[in-house]
Amino acid sequence: MSANPSPQAAQLTALVELISSSVKEVIAAYNAAGRDVPSLESLDEGPLEIPATTPASLTQARQIIEAACAQLCVTVAQPGDCIVNKAFACTESACLQVAAGARIADLLEGKPEGLSVDELSKLSGVDRGKLGQVLRFLATKHVYREVRPNVYANNRLSVKLLTSDPVSCNVGVCTDELFKATTSTWETLSDPEYGQSYDPSRSAFRKVHGAPLFEFYEQYDMKRERFSGAMVGWGNITDRGLLPQMYDWQALEQDAVICDVGGNNGHATLDLVKGYPKLKVVVQDLASLRPRWSELWSKELPSAIQEERTTFVPIDFFKGAPVKDCDVYYIRHILHDWPDASCVQILTNVKAAMKPTARVLIQEYVLQQTTREDAVIGNDLAPEPLLPNYGNGRIRRYYQDITMLIGLNSKERTLQEFIDIGAQAGLTFVKLWDGGQTALVEFSL
Ligand SMILES: C[S@@+](CC[C@H](N)C(=O)[O-])C[C@H]1O[C@@H](n2cnc3c(N)ncnc32)[C@H](O)[C@@H]1O
């Protein structure tokens, strides 16, 4: 054996060291918050389980741990094992669908001693033997805890399947209608007509369900409700409450106006005004959304309506410009729904409303390539030897990218792709403001 480790051996050691130093960061962050580090059994969520109250150092440490553990495993395990296990990922979705559909987490709520598979079978109506297989699989994947043979209790992960938690809606949507659409991805991409099209009505979702995604939800009340719940769940696990910390809002003048383009009920800018009462908000979305804006703001911040610090102005952002001369045009989770040409149309309409000092802030996931050659200015690169885009540590944004492809023939974008569509609309890139999960891409005229 040579005294110096080979480059490959040094990589393994470097991955372990990244895990080790990041675990110390995690322990320090929990200590600083006066909390014990979580265990798989712990059910209560504290401030460090919510993006808005999680320090950036903890988010970074978690991303490194998730990235390094996954990279270490695929480096040392047998390649055939790894690739087949990845192909089998569909079984995890399938079992989560069973557990969510049978409401197993609800049945186990308040029962730390657990319930037997027999009892869960009687209460849920799912065959005892089959339910036992599903729960054993899930417990093997750290969802539920097998307290004794064939007796299961909730754990840190399974409580997210409680129907009272909106994240359970995300699990429902992903493992039901999206999962079904996913199975026809290759069939769709290799179809001579669908494969070359970026029309939402030529997506895998449409091929399987017979209707484009949003028309599909018009047809099924329960699924539409669940999709709305999933939007709330999505915010909870990604960026709810982070917007006030993501940009230098303080630098804006008293009574600066933020136009929330495609803002739905304006929930994101509501958080902003709560943090920065000097700001005013115009929420713009399809006219049918006005009652939802009114309902939310009258409940959460009625003074803003009374003092006209918020208004709702209907828009079709493909057909016309938003309200003129606002200070910031804020566009959250809109562009990822649309192909490039439609995004350029939306941004061109926004540009038509802008005064010289106005800014556009696009809030989305920002994707990175997996090579260090993709060092676009502003991109945050993971430490070596991790994949520069943090690999498994930031995997959800890449799941979301493929989900957009399957659901709507659209995509999440890299910073360069945002810069390109902005340039096509006549906008100049200013800065990337990274929020740990999603980011703000700032443009000026
Ligand atoms: C994914 S949601 C994002 C909503 C909000 N910005 C957020 O982050 O929660 C997309 C929004 O675009 C709106 N929308 C879709 N087509 C539109 C159009 N042509 N004009 C204006 N708004 C539209 C929808 O009503 C919906 O509120």
Give per-residue pLDDT as tens, 71-125.
Answer: 999 999 999 999 999 999 999 999 999 999 999 999 999 999 999 999 999 999 9
CA of 268 to the centre of ligand 1 (A): 12
45 Cβ contact partners less than 8 Å away, ≥ 6 residues apart: none
Give per-residue pLDDT as tens, 127-139.
Answer: 999 999 999 999 9
Q: Which ligand 1 atom is at minimum distance from the Cα of 288?
A: 25
Q: Specify the higher pLDDT residue, 122 or 435.
A: 122
Give per-residue pLDDT as tens, 182-241.
Answer: 999 999 999 999 999 999 899 999 999 999 998 999 898 899 889 988 988 998 898 888
Q: Which ligand 1 atom is at minimum distance from the Cα of 317?
A: 20
pLDDT at 259 over 60: yes
Question: What is the reported pLDDT for 376?
Answer: 64
* Residue 143 three-state SS: coil
- How much is the pTM? 0.93
**Cα–Cα distance, 282 to 298 (Å, whole number):** 15
Give per-residue pLDDT as tens, 11-60.
Answer: 999 999 999 999 999 999 999 999 999 999 999 889 999 888 999 999 99
Give the pLDDT band of residue 436 (cuts 50, 70, 90): confident
Give per-residue pLDDT as tens, 373-401.
Answer: 766 666 688 999 999 999 999 999 999 99
Mean pLDDT of 239-254: 93
CA of 276 to the centre of ligand 1 (A): 24
Give per-residue pLDDT as tens, 170-181.
Answer: 999 999 999 999
State the maximum Cα–Cα separation within the chain, in Å, rounded to a whole number. 77
Mean pLDDT of 425-439: 93
Give the phi and the psi of residue 22 in degrees, each rounded to 5: -75, -35
> Which one of 209, 267, 333, 336 is the catalytic residue?
336
- Mean residue pLDDT across the chain: 95
Rounded to the nearest angstrom, the gap between the alpha carbon of residue 259 and the centroid of all alpha carbons in its chain is 23
**Ligand 1, residues 224, 334, 346, 412: which to mutate, most atoms within 8 A of Cβ?**
334
Mean pLDDT of 234-253: 92
**Cα–Cα distance, 140 to 136 (Å, whole number):** 6
pLDDT at 354 over 90: yes
ipTM: 0.99
pLDDT-above-90 percentage for the chain: 88
Mean pLDDT of 333-347: 96
290 Cβ contact partners less than 8 Å away, ≥ 6 residues apart: 312, 314
Tokens, residue 440:
């703000």
Is the CB of residue 289 below 6 angstroms from any atom belonging to ligand 1?
yes
Is the CB of residue 364 below 6 angstroms from any atom belonging to ligand 1?
no
Is the CB of residue 64 below 6 angstroms from any atom belonging to ligand 1?
no
Q: Residue 131 CB: number of other CB atoms within 10 A?
A: 22
CA of 332 to the centre of ligand 1 (A): 9
CA of 36 to the centre of ligand 1 (A): 40
Is the CB of residue 262 below 6 angstroms from any atom belonging to ligand 1?
yes
Question: What is the reported pLDDT for 4?
Answer: 87
